[in-house]
Structure 1
Amino acid sequence: MVTRTAFHYLVVVTVSSACGLAVEITAGRLIAPYLGMSLYTWTAVIAVVLAGFSIGHWIGGHIAEAPQEAVRRRVGWALLLAGLSTAASLVLIRLVSGPIVSAGMTPVPTILALTMALFFLPSVFVGIPSPALVKLAIDENPPRIGRLLGLFYAGGAIGAIAGTLATGYLFISWLGSTRTLLLVAALYLAMGASLLVVRPRTQPAGALTVPLVVVAVLAALIAAGGMRVSAFTGNCDVESDYYCIRTVDVSDEVGTEARLMILDHLGHSISSRDAPQSLLMPYVDAQDMLARIHSGRRTPFRAFFIGGGGFTLPRAWLDARPDAEITVAEIDPAVTAVAIGEMWLRPDERLKIVHQDARQVLSHDRAERYDVIVGDAFHDIAVPPHLVTGEFFALVRSRLADDGIFLMNVVDSSRRPRLVLSIAEALKQSFGRIEIWALQPSGERTTFVIAALEGPSPVDRLPLRSDPAQAFVRLPAEAVADLVAALTPVPLSDDYAPVDRLIGVE
């Protein structure tokens, strides 16, 4: 039989484990507007949180050797500090993200530095209670040491599972990442207080007054700082199951009423209200020109989009071609809703939107053949591996007309584009000709447009209509061959597609 006190400790261990995993899941979403979401961000988050847990457990083991009342009191303070540091992370991200991101480091150290600054201390503090409270429960009933150990380990595991599922499926979708962290902070504070309010007979009545005043002052400072930098309102216009979605008015920059859709940290598409055919994103302009060159006279004109985003190019083609029949596979219904509400996308009987993974859509609906398939589901260092493999490209080829064209954009290193070359090699298994177009002039990282088709393009330079000083230039076959020899592309398959290693991020 578990005593009331031991049950109290079990509840604290279970709920604190749930909260620790909730912070871990939410952390990736919280930093997405600054660094995006990729294998790199999740690896950093998991490593930092686990490192914090480990150090916290070690500290908790040392605390467990103290007298019982001291253990309970110190665990209570650890939970109060977990709550304060969790709430403070919302303020810190507004204060330190700019200096860290602009420090000139490559993406991986930048991600690690920001994650460490925000989530290491909360993880340390929440790692403290488990070993200490288990020891207290055992001290109350030494003959049941085995059962108590099993019970507390099970409670911690169940809490971690519950925290993961609740955060991933409920809290982020319904509360958003900011309010989820505030809820976690409140739970930490409540659990810490529950351990501190039990006052032993030997402790003076006012012994906790000064420490609690200090905690209240710190909480007030965090709240004031958060309100000053708008830390508790969130960065997202809409926070969906997949993205932090924002729209920004860029009318002054482009000279006409227009909005930019931002998915996580990356500007995805720009739409003009009164000029749907005005394509202001360079890679979208290039894709449009290549599609017009190779399929401009076909009627009806059928196109399939892997990813919708702001629906800029589908909207342009619907406006330009009365005979257009366009299917868009956009996995996130919230993105479509924002495109309709903010990016001037209008429902059209010629536009079919499927809220499903594009590979599943292409696999299940084999009756349709398309003149153009556009791959636009790629976000900087976040590349869906299952959409760049030889098997997927064979599926794409089977869904194209005999003389159809597949277009996709990829962001990669301008000097060492190993991912682009690896994708091109995978495409060669199914297409007769592969063209790599690079934006010029370019920086350290640049946007490439890859065209997979059967015949050559009649031009080797595509000046941007929005900025003729820039152009997409087709890489000569000799230059591509030299890059292939120097960089050794990796064959991409469903079994092996190391896109995160190939993408040129260190």
Structure 2
Amino acid sequence: MLEVVVFLCGAVVMVIELAATRVLAPFLGTSTVVWTSIIGVILGALSLGYWWGGRLADRHPNPKALSLIILGAAVCTALIGFSRSFVVEMIQASGAGLHAGSLQAVLLLFAPAATLLGMVAPFAARIRMTDPERAGSTVGRLYALSTMGSIVGTFAGGFFLIAWFGSAAILFLMAGVLALASILCHVGSWPLKAGLAGVFVALYLLAASDARSLAASGIVDVDTPYQRVLVYPSRDFTTGRDMLAMSTGPEGVQGGVYPDDPQALALNYTRYLTLASHFAPDMRRVLVLGGGAYAFPKYVLGKHPQARVDVVELDPGITELARAHFFLPDDPRLNVRHEDARTFLNANTGRYDAIVVDVFNSHASIPFHLATLETARRLAAALDDDGVLLVNTITALEGPRSRLYKSFYATYARVFPQVHPVRTWSPGLKTDMQNVLLVCFKSPAPRPWISPDESAQARLDQRQPAPELDGALVLTDDYAPVERYLTGW
């Protein structure tokens, strides 16, 4: 049974590590900084556990002590489920930056459980070590079992468990598994351990039912195969209208719809995407990278009956939510492909009258491989000679964090003869993070920036002068330090 226990604990470590990304994402995003904090802290905690477990095993090499360690790990894992939101919200309110905040969150929430689980393999090896001449094979076998468990936990957690059960429920379920593993290790005091296992399973069921009750009240909190997504009732602060919002990160709303007018563009920046209609009024083929709430694809389907729209959305869970809550229709002119936008562009041979890139939906997590010179070249190859490309970026126009904006501009200007920044948030400070639209053309021929439509003209008037490119970097697949630029480093 000891070997089974080692395998289970190895699996639970990796499920907890993967769940950490979903716990932190709504507050800190899923950038490389957050992943680095998770991996580094948990590796450090495991190392501490290996050392501590080995020392303790030399003093008390018996299954009872190991059973108590595993039971402690079960309690710590359950405590993550209880305290996750409070701890991360407290850190966020303290003003800690992304680097310090993510480190603090992982240390407080996940390091205790990881440390205790790190103690299991060396402790088990000491218990099994009865023949000094076979010490090497004993240690090797148990560590191999622990690693095999981690492999199973990685694939099961990443491919199935978290998407099926959600980040909160899976933590309570893993706590229940550890409580049962404690019984397998040492039956003593089994009623207490079994009772704790039952409590953890009950908490798992409660967390699962809580998600259903939230959905019944109009709030959807779901873990898709790629991310954690919130859908909830909100209000448009510019118009005062009721709105249904979608959030996939710590910066508020990434998608929205007016339930009483599903065809209207609820988010301000999406209204600026209609500039595609100004520059390509007769568009017939449209490519949208990034589906979200599918606001712009719905707009094109409604306003351009001759147009066909290809949408590339990585996450099929997002598309399901758009169909269930954001009035995404089944339309023969809409073709949705679930794959990474860059892989689509790499294989694409079609040409489009208008392309909209809306994949930078969070300044805490920018997919760097879609911000590079190589991507810009692929977009140019996919754009018709008279077409228009609109890239929605999230950046600051001025100040320390404007280096990302300047680098975006420099990168696209290397490929497109015309790159026009358009500010979509005029009341705010230029040093604030905001949506800035890059309007790009393949031809150097002048394009009209005058419209008889007043609302369109108001948006056209938000065109900004080209930025000074001091400190700008042409971003490439080899070197694109977008997260460093976001923090102003």
Common topology (TM > 0.5): yes
Distance in 2 between the 1:358 and 1:221 partners?
40
Q: Give yes or no for contact 1:38–1:382 (8 Å, CA) kept in 2.
A: yes
The structure-2 alpha-carbon separation of the partners of 1:387 and 1:283, relative to structure 1 and needing over 3 Å to count, comes to: same
Alignment partner of 2:4 out of 1, 11, 18: 11
Alignment partner of 1:474 out of 452, 460, 463: 463
Distance in 1 between the 2:203 and 2:462 partners?
52
Q: Give yes or no for contact 1:434–1:450 (8 Å, CA) kept in 2.
A: yes
Distance in 1 between the 2:197 and 2:182 partners?
15
Question: Structure 2 regions of 5+ residues with no counterpart?
Answer: none
Alignment partner of 1:247 out of 205, 228, 231: 231
Q: Give yes or no for contact 2:360–2:366 (8 Å, CA) kept in 1.
A: yes
Q: Quick check: 1:451 aligned with 2:434?
A: no
Q: Give yes or no for contact 2:393–2:436 (8 Å, CA) kept in 1.
A: yes
The structure-2 alpha-carbon separation of the partners of 1:14 and 1:351, relative to structure 1 and needing over 3 Å to count, comes to: same
The structure-2 alpha-carbon separation of the partners of 1:12 and 1:228, relative to structure 1 and needing over 3 Å to count, comes to: closer
Alignment partner of 2:243 out of 254, 258, 269: 258
Max Rg structure = 1
The structure-2 alpha-carbon separation of the partners of 1:35 and 1:457, relative to structure 1 and needing over 3 Å to count, comes to: farther
Distance in 1 between the 2:69 and 2:174 partners?
14
The structure-2 alpha-carbon separation of the partners of 1:80 and 1:457, relative to structure 1 and needing over 3 Å to count, comes to: farther
Q: Give yes or no for contact 1:378–1:384 (8 Å, CA) kept in 2.
A: yes
How far is 1:328 from its partner? Answer: 0.6
Q: Quick check: 1:433 aligned with 2:418?
A: yes
What secondary structure sits across from 2:254 in the alignment? Answer: strand
Task: Look up the match of 2:53.
Answer: 60
How far is 1:429 from its partner? Answer: 2.4
How far is 1:36 from its partner? Answer: 2.1
The structure-2 alpha-carbon separation of the partners of 1:505 and 1:282, relative to structure 1 and needing over 3 Å to count, comes to: farther
Q: Give yes or no for contact 2:6–2:124 (8 Å, CA) kept in 1.
A: yes
What secondary structure sits across from 1:310 in the alignment? Answer: coil
Query: Can you list the C-alpha shifts for 1:92-130, whole angstroms capped at 9, x where unaligned?
Result: 013223222222222222222222221111111111111
Q: Give yes or no for contact 2:314–2:341 (8 Å, CA) kept in 1.
A: yes
The structure-2 alpha-carbon separation of the partners of 1:68 and 1:143, relative to structure 1 and needing over 3 Å to count, comes to: same
Task: Look up the match of 2:328.
Answer: 345
TM-score (norm 2): 0.87
Paired residues for 1:18-167 under 5 Å? 18-69=11-62, 72-138=63-129, 140-167=130-157
Query: Can you list the C-alpha shifts for 1:468-498, whole angstroms capped at 9, x where unaligned?
Result: 8x99833323xx12xx21xx22222222222
Q: Give yes or no for contact 1:302–1:371 (8 Å, CA) kept in 2.
A: yes
How far is 1:257 from its partner? Answer: 5.2
Query: Can you list the C-alpha shifts for 1:191-232, whole angstroms capped at 9, x where unaligned?
Result: 22233325xxxxxxxxx59xx769968996997899699988
How far is 1:464 from its partner? Answer: 11
Distance in 2 between the 1:228 and 1:309 partners?
26
How far is 1:272 from its partner? Answer: 2.3
Distance in 1 between the 2:339 and 2:168 partners?
27
Q: Quick one: which amino acid aligns to residue 324 of structure 1?
A: A
Distance in 1 between the 2:313 and 2:142 partners?
43
Distance in 2 between the 1:24 and 1:118 partners?
11
Question: Structure 1 regions of 5+ residues with no counterpart?
Answer: 1-7, 199-207
Alignment partner of 1:390 out of 373, 397, 402: 373
What percentage of aligned pairs have identical amino acids? Answer: 27
TM-score (norm 1): 0.84
How far is 1:10 from its partner? Answer: 2.3
Q: Quick check: 1:301 aligned with 2:301?
A: no
Q: Quick check: 1:184 aligned with 2:166?
A: no
Q: Quick one: which amino acid aligns to residue 475 of structure 1?
A: Q
Distance in 1 between the 2:404 and 2:273 partners?
19
The structure-2 alpha-carbon separation of the partners of 1:81 and 1:59, relative to structure 1 and needing over 3 Å to count, comes to: same
Q: Give yes or no for contact 2:169–2:208 (8 Å, CA) kept in 1.
A: no
The structure-2 alpha-carbon separation of the partners of 1:160 and 1:222, relative to structure 1 and needing over 3 Å to count, comes to: closer
Counting matched residue pairs gives: 472
Q: Give yes or no for contact 1:308–1:329 (8 Å, CA) kept in 2.
A: yes
